[in-house]
Amino acid sequence: MSLVTAAHSASTAQRPREGVDGTHFIERGETLSGLAARYGTTVQALMDANPQIRNRDLIYAGDTLKLPGATASSGARTSQGGGATLAQLAARHDGDVATLARRNGLADPTRPWMTIARGEMGQREIAGGQDNGRIVQYHQTTSLRANDDETPWCASFVNWTMEQAGMRGTDSAAAISWAGWGQNVGGLGNARSGDVVVIRNRQTGQNHVGFFVTSGDGRVTLLGGNQSNQVKESSFGLGTYDIVAVRRPPTAG
């Protein structure tokens, strides 16, 4: 979401201590969605705390953000439960942090890349001769470095998201490149929110990659790019698609 598009001059000595005094000094390349994941909050909460931000895709290196009471730790506090952490609330209700965060529209401190990916929902191809610059940015993180939004971009989206979360992807625009990445979790039955899933259309042989959301009733739901030409959640029937691989980031528990 918010892309740092320009740099303002500011000396290192003048920078506030990150997160300690309730502020964050914006560095080049940072985004609002990435910062929301980092501090256990949401893009909207950051915008509410910083009314000077009119465009969620436009923040500036050198500026300072006010943090809406969030921290960079996995014990980010919620507005419910008398200050209970997401982990504590999940334990009370026999759930998991990822599901609780998704259902309540909160940043998931255990799967920050999912918070970033969700922040991109709605990005779509532009019909005609124009291209969505955001999709071009996804491509620029891969070796293909395509300059349009017509080139298949599901793998580019996954790679961009992982890089925004501070992890190394495959640097490839090919969906199949993710079949050997990270940890093998042993199939769809062991999948967790945020796992990278590669599927293949049985009729066309075309591969697709996205982030696991849920499965059941012979279907798997993925959050991904180039799904109906946009970033969205889509359900894929397992009668039409084979599961090629389910992979987990090396640092994820």
223, 210 contact by CB (below 8 A):
yes
What's the average model confidence in pLDDT over 77-100? 50
Task: Say yes or no: domain 3-72 is CATH 3.30.750.24.
Answer: no
| 210-234: pLDDT as tens digits | 999 999 999 999 999 999 999 999 9
Looking at mean pLDDT, say which of 26-30, 107-111, 132-136, 247-251 comes out highest.
132-136
pLDDT at 107: 54
For 234-241, the CB contacts below 8 A with 24+ separation are 234/210, 236/199, 236/208, 240/201, 240/202, 240/203, 241/199, 241/200, 241/201, 241/202, 241/208
Q: What pLDDT is recorded for position 176?
A: 98
57-61, 151-155, 177-181, 226-230: lowest mean pLDDT where? 57-61
Q: Do residues 209 and 203 make contact, with C-beta atoms less than 8 angstroms apart?
A: no
Does 119-248 carry CATH code 3.90.1720? yes
- Residue 40: which pLDDT band, with cuts at 50, 70 and 90? confident
Query: Please, which pLDDT band fits residue 72 given cuts at 50, 70 and 90?
Result: very low
Using an 8 Å Cβ cutoff, are 225 and 157 in contact? yes
User: Tokens 């209700």 correspond to what residue?
Assistant: 93
Backbone phi and psi for residue 187, each to the nearest 5 degrees, phi listed first: 110, 170
CA 241 to chain centre: 24
Give the start-to-end residue ranges of the domains of the chain: 3-72, 119-248
Averaged pLDDT score across all residues of the chain:
81
Across the range 109-116, mean pLDDT stands at 84
Task: Please state, for a pLDDT cut of 70, what percent of the chain lies above it.
Answer: 75
| Sign for the pseudo-dihedral over CA of 151, 211, 138, 134 | positive
Which of 14-18, 87-91, 184-188 is predicted most confidently? Answer: 184-188
pLDDT of residue 45: 85
| Cβ count within 10 A of residue 154 | 23
Which segment of 63-67, 106-110, 148-152 scores lowest on mean pLDDT? 106-110
> Are 108 and 39 in contact, with CB atoms under 8 Å apart?
no
